[in-house]
Structures are given as structure tokens and as C-alpha cells.
Amino acid sequence: MELENELKQHVDGEIRFDEISCHVYSVDASIYEIKPIGIVLPRTKEALITAVTIANRHRIPVIARGAATGITGGCLGHGLIIDTSKYLNRILEINIEKGYAICEPGVVQDDLNAAVAAYGLRLGPDTSTGNRATLGGMLANNAAGAHSLLFGQMADHVEEIELILAGGDVLHLSSIAPNSGSLFSGLNKLKERYQDVIAEQMPVLPRRVSGYNLDALLENPINPCRLICGSEGTLGIVSKMRVKLSRIPHIAGLCLLFGDDPIKMMQSVPEMLSYHPISIEMIDRTILDQARNSPLYSQKLSWLPEISQAVFSVEFTDSIKMQEFQQHFQNYHPTILSDPTEIKDFWEIRKAGLGLLLSRRSYTRAIAFLEDVSVPPAHLASFMQKFQTYFKEAGVYGHVGSGCMHVRPFINIQSNEEMKTAENMMVKLTELLREYGGVLSGEHGDGLVRSWLNRKLYGETLYQAFIDLKNLFDPDHLMNPGKIVEGTPFAQDLRTGPNTAIHEIPTFLDFSREGGLALAADLCNGNGACRKKEGIMCPSFQATDDEYDSTRARAQLLRDIIHGELPPASLAQKGLIDVLDLCLECKGCKKECPSQVDMAKMKAEVLFQYQEKNGASIRSHLFASMDNLLHYASLFPWIYRAVQKLGINSWFGIAKQRSLPSLSNNRFSKIEIQQPTLEKSVVLFNDTYCEFHTPNIGLSAVQVLNALGYHVIIPPYLCCGRPAFSKGFLKHARHKAEALIKVLLPYAEAKIPIIGLEPSCLFMIKDDYQSLVTTQASIEIVAKSCITFDAFVARHEFSDFKPSKDTLLVHTHCHQKALEGTTATLEALQKIPGSVVHKIEAGCCGMAGSFGYEREHVDISMKIGNLHLFPTIRNSEEKTLICANGFSCRTQVMDGTSRQSLHLAEILARYL
């Protein structure tokens, strides 16, 4: 309490000591979970120094944290977490001429790369997590990436470091200029004492992160930056760094090799290296199969033959060398990828390897404990031959060219016996590594998972040298204690382990596909892809830069409730509602989270359970029953228009900035539509928006469908239940769903396509009904017949549209993006001859049904719109047509840019 108050008084930043935040900050991408005492998000370097000084006075450990993508539990601990990612993320200086950048620790790798790409430069090391990992975390883990053959590790690129020591003292360290001060006399003494043993016993490897980089002491003069790289925040916190910028290499292509015996392929690594590739990577069959089953990655595997136990990708800057290589390795069916899209797709799969491995819906998982071994590349095959006898089934991938392998055996994390076997495996592996001159970590670090083995791995003398180094920088062991030296036991603080009590909370929705709600939440492995700043997942994090608003935070809180860490074991908890508050239910995570965590579904369940116990607000009732309200409004339109005009909606918590959408004079179902006599038929699903607000879209759709040769059947109007579902009124939603299925089933059984105009309504039927509706057989038949208007048009050969010179910008609804993609919309628009069609690279528009209408959400809703969508539209010419199929998206575009957007059906009808 005293610590909290003092921090609040003196530190310019956010100070969080509440129970919920501590749970949110208790995980990273490792198998561990430790609740911190509190969290500080400093706004300035001075605030960081003050926080460290205060913690030191209270003898509280300090743990630095970036994006928490570390796989070892390195940023976890029972102390004060300093999160640098939200505010200390500025690039302070870029010097193109001299080729360096000065950055705060929270700068994300890809952001720095984007800032210097125009000059042909980048940061050398490229971690797979580059779209969210911070430079502070990269430096502290001495990160590398696929291109370490060319670029080495982070330690080869850090020229200067500003380091905050435990007491708050600030050190300026340089690898390019002389250093002085009392610390250096200490380092010199260490050098004198240990130089012989370092020279003799420190393994020399292309990649090594285990332990401290003591060989930096042997450089002349001593290189303090190399020493800090890989020290995992145990010597001090980095508040600023100067990093070298490297030339972006020209890529000639990738030569892919396929084979049935990965060990045999590894034997050829030294020969492969003689062709001077810039990377040699491997992915095994387990991961490739997982990619085949992933909605996101299955479309990116055009290069993959049906059967192959492993693929090696060998990357070249020199096309002649690549061809020679291809000629030489004919046995492995070499395929060259030189098309940039194919190369990009390949790297996406390679980078997603780890996440993909973790998407199994089971407690038998490919966990990370011996996932980062590093051995001399020349001995890799022989080492792996022995190593693979330790486990039955594992996912294997890695940087074969530099001898660093990511091996993840499948272990039942709830079995004491299997966890004990895992621990024994690590001890045996350490012995094997000593035999081969290898180490336990080539890029991920020691953290909680491996530090306990450093004494065994390095031997007594080197281990003592590690302790002496630690004592020199941090005599009281308050900087990230228990990492690198004095590690805690392997099975302590497991996130989910044999002793975890799993409370199966009964659910209204069917979670059997996920293996139950507990597994649905526990699918989150913490890899932090939900912190990336592009794509659909996760709009709330993209707008706030705050861990609290990430998918991971939401999954973590759910997990802790289910595991009894945050009693009671009930979803009706206010804290959970708060952490879910900014989830827009956009389904971005269902598509883009490598484990396919489906937070939109879990939020609907949580809202339901919370409201069953505590009741719901009037506003939620109003939004959930929107279809009924609109029905009455259509009977008494003057009342609706009066409410609209007087802005009375704000009485119910609707934002003043928003006006209620206009009510059409005619309901779509009441309009007499003349259609030509046509042989084939389709059903047009008349959703709530078309029925009450935009019947013109329905009319346009009929026109287009008639032109394609179909008679259009319009069944009686029924709401699909989406508004009720997203507000957690699940009983209500089920009732509506079952009524609608009854109406649609006969058409589906007659194999008549059912076309949807409003993406959120169509995907309600295709996706959400599967867990909502009890009549599974009927829903499967109906869902199969349902198709978006876009996909239906796209699959037709139709060339009778009038030519156009229009430029079209397409914004796809987030549910459509997540479950179908944008291709069909683009293809449908490209049928207009002469049209120039561009996709807007944005995620959710920010409106998300009723979310953006709510008073407390309107600002964040507009902020999300302003990330990519609004600027792209504002920067387009006034006459550019904007295509947006979602009713809320069109409202949001109007409110955010004052530009009108049109449904695809309206645009196509214009050109008939």
C-alpha cells in the first residue's frame, strides 16, 4: 500500500495495483504464471528511474517487461513490473548517414524497420514476433531470427546502452567508445579472475543466449553492451539504446527442399552452407499439418507437396548460387520461390510455426521447455539423432543453418508423471549438450524455465563467474531475480499444471468444439500476436496500446477464474466484464490468433451469465430487442423521428455524437417487387437493416440477381438474433435463431442458395448458430446453403455491366474479413469493366454493431476508425466510390469522414 501510494505520488505514469491488472500481467508466452505486486507504465525515463528507486527502497524486485512475447517467463515475477511498451516507445533519432537509430526500449521492431525501410535499411535481427516484440525485450533476450547467418544476434547490433541500476543510478555503456567508472574496474577484476576459464569453457556457437555473455569480457576493450545483451533484465533496465542499422539484402529467392528424413537432410547442412545462403530454415510435418488446418494459413501453402516430412528453405541473395544449389540438391525435389507473395506466404507459415503448434485443443501440448537448443551446425544431425529419442511426438522447426532448433514435445501438462518426465528430459538434454558443446538456448533465453540448469550446463566455475557478475551490477539481487542465476524449480509457478484445479463452468453456448470453456480460454498460449498493429486482431489493443485491452488479457482473466485463481469460479464477475468491455466482438482473434482463441463467443457467454445474475441495463435491453423496437417504430414512425430529432437517445446511454439511423418509409417486405420470369431461384435473406433502414439495398440486390438469371424469393422478415447475441441475451437469440432456421430449412433442403447482404447477420447463421442452436442437423444444412452476396456474384461469369472509370475503395466488415476474407468482394467489383478497385487495409471499423453508439465507447470507436479506415478514405478523391457492406461500417464511415459509402449491391446495380 505504501509502495503503491509512493509510486502514485512521485511517478509520472500509470500505477496499477488492482487484482485484475495483476492477473493480466501474470503471463507471457511461457508455461508460467506469477502474479506481480503491481505494475508501472512510466511515461518518461525519469519516471522509470523514480519507480526503480522507490521499489529499491522498499526492497521490492523490479521486472522489466516489453510485449511479453518471451517464451521463458523472463518478464514474470513477484515484484514490480515496469511495462515500457505503452509510453516508452519513441524512436529518438535516426541517422541514415551513420547508419544508427537511438530508441526507447518499448519501440517495436517492425516500427523501427518501417521508419528506415525507405532508406534501404533495417535492424538486422528479425524475430518472428517482430510485429510486436520490443527492442528492450530483444536486447535483453539477445534475440536473433531467421537471418542470423547474415546478421548474428542483437548483441552484434547494439552500440550504446543507457542502463538503470537497481538503486536508480544511470550507466552509459558503449561498444564503440571508451567506458570508465567503478563498474569497469569490477569488470576488469572479473576478467582477470575468469579469462582462462571463459576462453576454455564458454561454448563458441553461432547463437548462444543461455547464461551471461562472459566472452564480452575478453574483447579488448571489454564490450559492456554485449554483456548486457541477453542478461534478461537481471543487471539493470535498459532505458535507451543505440542500434546499428543494416542494409536490407536483395533476395534472389528461396530454394525449398522436401524430404522424408529430416536428420539426413541435416547432415547436408555444412554442404548447404558452402553455397553462402543467408538463411536455412526447417519446418516439420506436424507444423505443416497444423497450417493445413488453419483458416488463416491453409490458403498460403501452394508451394507444399502432399507428402513431405520436412521442408528446408534455403534463401539466397545471389541467383546464380541459388541455381547451382538447386542443381546440386536434386534429391530433395528443389522448388524455387521467387515471387514476393509466395516468399511472404512461406515466411508467414515459418514465423507462425510455434503458434500453430499450440493450437491443439487439448491439455497434451507442445510446451516450451527445451525448445531452443543450440549446437554447432556441423554436429546438428548427430545431436538431433540422439535428442529425438527423448520424446515420442514433437513439433520441430528452427534455424538449421545456425544449429538452433525449436523442439516442442507434446506433454500432458496435467499429468504429474509427464511433467516429471519433461524435467528429467531437460537434465538429460543438458548432459547431451555439454557433450556437443551446445547450450539450452540459442535465442529465447533462460527465464524461469531454464535458469535452474545453468550451473549444470556451464559447470561450477563459470556459474560462479555469473554470480559474481550479477553481484557487481545488482548486489541485492533485486533486478529480475531467479533468472539466469539462482533459478527456481522447473515445475514451480506453472500456468496450467498437474495441480491446477479446473472448474468446468456450465455454459449456455456449446463449447464442445473447443473441448469446453476451460480449454477455449486456455488455448491462449500468450504469444502476444494480439498486440500487433495491423490486420483485424485486436482493434482495442491497436487503439490503446494497453495490454489490458488485448485478447490475451481477456483470455488470461477467464482462465484464472476457471482455474480458481480469482474466486469465485463464476463468469458473473465485474472484473471480467471490465476486461471484456472493449472487446468489439469482431472475430479478429478467431481468424488471426494462431491458436484461434474465439473471444467474441466467450464474451457473449460471459455477458449472458453476468446478466442472468445481475440483470442488464435498459440500453442493453433496447439494443438486444432492436428488431422489435424497429417494428413498433415502423408502425409509429413519427415517434421514432421525434426521438431522433430531440436526441432523447442520449437518455439511455447512447452517445450524443451519434444519431439514430434513419427509418425507411417502406419496409422491404412490404414492397411489391416486379421480377422477370426466370428458371433458377435464390433466396434473399431479408435482415433487420434491409427491412427497416435500407430496403433500397435489397432492391438493388434483386436487380443484380435477376440480371444474373435468378428469380429472387424473399422469405418473411425475421431477425437472425445477432443484436441479442452480441449483448449476451442468448435465450432470446436462440429463440430467434430457431424460428429463422425453420423458415430457411425448406429452401436449404431444396438446395436453393440463401444469399445474405448484411455480413454480421449472414455469419451469425453460418458461424454463431453452430454453438447457439440445439438442432445441429438443421443448422448444418442451412449454414451450408448460406452465402454472401459478394461470393455469389463473384462465382458467376457475368460480363454485362456497363464500363466505368470509377475508382472503388472496399472496406470489408470484420466478420466477413475474419470468416470469408475480402477476395469475393474484390472479384465481384472487378466484373465492372474499367473499374479500379482497392482494398482498404483496415480491421474493424470501430462501430461493431451497437458498440460505437454507446456513450462510454464512442471515443475509442472513433479512434479505431482513425487508425486506418478514416485516413484512407479522407486521402482518396471525393469522387471515389466507397464500398462497405456492413450497416454499422457505413454509419461509421459517414460519422468519421462525412462520406457516403454504398453496399456492393448498390454499386453493381448502378452499372446494369
Q: Which amino acid is at 691?
A: E
Identify which range of 68-76, 271-279, 698-706, 827-835 contacts ligand FAD by CB under 6 A. Answer: 68-76
Separation CA 126–CA 157 (nearest Å): 12
- Per-position x/- string for 137-176, each x denoting binding to ligand FAD as judged by CB under 6 A, each - no binding: xx-xx-xxx-------------------------------
Q: Site for ligand FAD (CB under 6 A): which residue of 101, 354, 622, 744?
A: 354
Asked if 89 and 134 touch (Cβ cutoff 8 Å), the reply is yes
Q: What residue has cell string 548447404?
A: 272
Q: Would you list the DSSP string of 498-540?
A: TT--------SS--GGGTSHHHHHHT-----GGG-SSSSS-HH
Q: Which amino acid is at 322?
A: M
User: SS3 of 63, please?
Assistant: strand
With DSSP H G I counted as helix, E B as strand and the rest as coil, what are the percentages for the chain, rounded to 5? 45, 15, 40
- Touching ligand FAD, residues 224-243 (CB under 6 A): 232-233, 237-238
- Touching ligand FAD, residues 81-120 (CB under 6 A): 84, 105
- Touching ligand FAD, residues 18-47 (CB under 6 A): 28-29
Asked if 68 and 530 touch (Cβ cutoff 8 Å), the reply is no
Asked if the peptide bond before residue 637 counts as cis, ω within 30 degrees of 0, the response is no
Identify which range of 126-134, 298-306, 540-548, 725-733 contacts ligand FAD by CB under 6 A. Answer: 126-134
Residue closer to ligand SF4, measured from CB, 187 or 536: 536
Separation CA 29–CA 578 (nearest Å): 23
Q: Name the strand (E) or helix (H) holding 642.
A: helix 637-646
Check residue 129 for interaction with ligand FAD (CB under 6 A). yes
Residue closer to ligand SF4, measured from CB, 64 or 589: 589
Q: How far is CA 458 from CA 245, 302, 395, 478, in A?
A: 33, 45, 27, 23
Quick one: what does residue 75 bind among ligand SF4, ligand FAD, none, with the CB cut-off 5 to 8 Å set by partner type? ligand FAD
Residue closer to ligand SF4, measured from CB, 362 or 774: 362
List beta partners, residue 864.
none
C-alpha cell recorded at residue 296: 488463416
* Greatest pairwise CA separation for the chain in angstroms: 96
Identify which range of 62-70, 197-205, 703-711, 714-722 contacts ligand FAD by CB under 6 A. Answer: 62-70
Residue closer to ligand SF4, measured from CB, 125 or 528: 528
Quick one: what does residue 700 bind among ligand FAD, ligand SF4, none, with the CB cut-off 5 to 8 Å set by partner type? none
Separation CA 172–CA 120 (nearest Å): 29
Considering only CA atoms, give the Rg of the chain.
29
- In the bound complex, what is the minimum distance in angstroms from residue 529's beta carbon to ligand FAD? 8
The footprint of ligand SF4 (CB under 6 A) covers: 524-530, 537-540, 551-552, 554-555, 583-589, 593, 595, 597, 599-600
Q: Site for ligand FAD (CB under 6 A): which residue of 50, 56, 127, 210?
A: 127
Position of minimal CB gap to ligand FAD: 137
- In the bound complex, what is the minimum distance in angstroms from residue 12's beta carbon to ligand FAD? 17
Q: How many of the chain's residues bind ligand FAD (CB under 6 A)?
A: 38
- Per-position x/- string for 465-494, each x denoting binding to ligand FAD as judged by CB under 6 A, each - no binding: ---------------x--------------
500 Cβ contact list (under 8 Å, min separation 6): 414, 494, 563
Q: Site for ligand FAD (CB under 6 A): which residue of 51, 55, 75, 589?
A: 75
Quick one: what does residue 757 bind among ligand FAD, ligand SF4, none, with the CB cut-off 5 to 8 Å set by partner type? none
Quick one: what does residue 587 bind among ligand SF4, ligand FAD, none, with the CB cut-off 5 to 8 Å set by partner type? ligand SF4
Residue closer to ligand FAD, measured from CB, 68 or 553: 68
List beta partners, residue 122.
246
- In the bound complex, what is the minimum distance in angstroms from residue 822's beta carbon to ligand FAD? 26
Residue closer to ligand FAD, measured from CB, 526 or 852: 526
- Per-position x/- string for 522-551, each x denoting binding to ligand FAD as judged by CB under 6 A, each - no binding: -----x------------------------
Asked if 327 and 284 touch (Cβ cutoff 8 Å), the reply is no
Q: What residue has cell string 478497385?
A: 837
List beta partners, residue 397.
283, 406
Sign of CA dihedral 347, 351, 354, 357: negative
Quick one: what does residue 268 bind among ligand SF4, ligand FAD, none, with the CB cut-off 5 to 8 Å set by partner type? none
Sign of CA dihedral 7, 13, 19, 21: negative
Q: Which amino acid is at 377?
A: P
Q: Name the strand (E) or helix (H) holding 689.
A: helix 688-692
Residue closer to ligand FAD, measured from CB, 133 or 907: 133
- In the bound complex, what is the minimum distance in angstroms from residue 781's beta carbon to ligand SF4? 28
Quick one: what does residue 600 bind among ligand FAD, ligand SF4, none, with the CB cut-off 5 to 8 Å set by partner type? ligand SF4
If one counts every other C-beta atom within 10 angstroms of the C-beta of residue 618, the result is 10
Q: What residue has cell string 516430412?
A: 309
Quick one: what does residue 555 bind among ligand FAD, ligand SF4, none, with the CB cut-off 5 to 8 Å set by partner type? ligand SF4
Q: Site for ligand FAD (CB under 6 A): which residue of 79, 262, 334, 355?
A: 355
Quick one: what does residue 238 bind among ligand FAD, ligand SF4, none, with the CB cut-off 5 to 8 Å set by partner type? ligand FAD
Residue closer to ligand SF4, measured from CB, 587 or 722: 587
Separation CA 312–CA 331 (nearest Å): 13
Q: Would you list the DSSP string of 17-46?
A: -SHHHHHHTT--SSSB----SEEEEESSHH
Asked if the peptide bond before residue 716 counts as cis, ω within 30 degrees of 0, the response is no
Indicate the DSSP class of residue 854. Answer: B
Quick one: what does residue 521 bind among ligand FAD, ligand SF4, none, with the CB cut-off 5 to 8 Å set by partner type? none
- In the bound complex, what is the minimum distance in angstroms from residue 527's beta carbon to ligand SF4? 4
- In the bound complex, what is the minimum distance in angstroms from residue 568's beta carbon to ligand FAD? 31
Asked if 168 and 299 touch (Cβ cutoff 8 Å), the reply is no
- In the bound complex, what is the minimum distance in angstroms from residue 528's beta carbon to ligand SF4? 5
Strands 680-685 and 710-713 come out as: parallel
Q: Site for ligand FAD (CB under 6 A): which residue of 133, 202, 630, 762?
A: 133
- Touching ligand FAD, residues 628-647 (CB under 6 A): none
Residue closer to ligand SF4, measured from CB, 577 or 752: 577
Quick one: what does residue 626 bind among ligand FAD, ligand SF4, none, with the CB cut-off 5 to 8 Å set by partner type? none
Q: Which amino acid is at 471?
A: N
List beta partners, residue 316.
253
User: SS3 of 192, please?
Assistant: helix
List beta partners, residue 40.
15, 82
List beta partners, residue 257.
312
- Per-position x/- string for 380-409, each x denoting binding to ligand FAD as judged by CB under 6 A, each - no binding: ------------------------------
Residue closer to ligand SF4, measured from CB, 252 or 600: 600
Asked if the peptide bond before residue 221 counts as cis, ω within 30 degrees of 0, the response is yes
Q: Site for ligand FAD (CB under 6 A): which residue of 36, 42, 61, 136?
A: 136
- In the bound complex, what is the minimum distance in angstroms from residue 123's beta carbon to ligand FAD? 11
Residue 69: Cβ-neighbour burial (10 angstroms; 0-12, 13-18, 19+): buried
Quick one: what does residue 589 bind among ligand FAD, ligand SF4, none, with the CB cut-off 5 to 8 Å set by partner type? ligand SF4
Angle between helices 182-201 and 460-473 (to 10 degrees): 160
Quick one: what does residue 537 bind among ligand SF4, ligand FAD, none, with the CB cut-off 5 to 8 Å set by partner type? ligand SF4
User: SS3 of 335, please?
Assistant: strand
- In the bound complex, what is the minimum distance in angstroms from residue 296's beta carbon to ligand SF4? 11
Binding residues (CB under 6 A) for ligand FAD: these are 28-29, 63-71, 74-75, 84, 105, 127-129, 133-134, 136-138, 140-141, 143-145, 232-233, 237-238, 354-355, 443-444, 480, 527
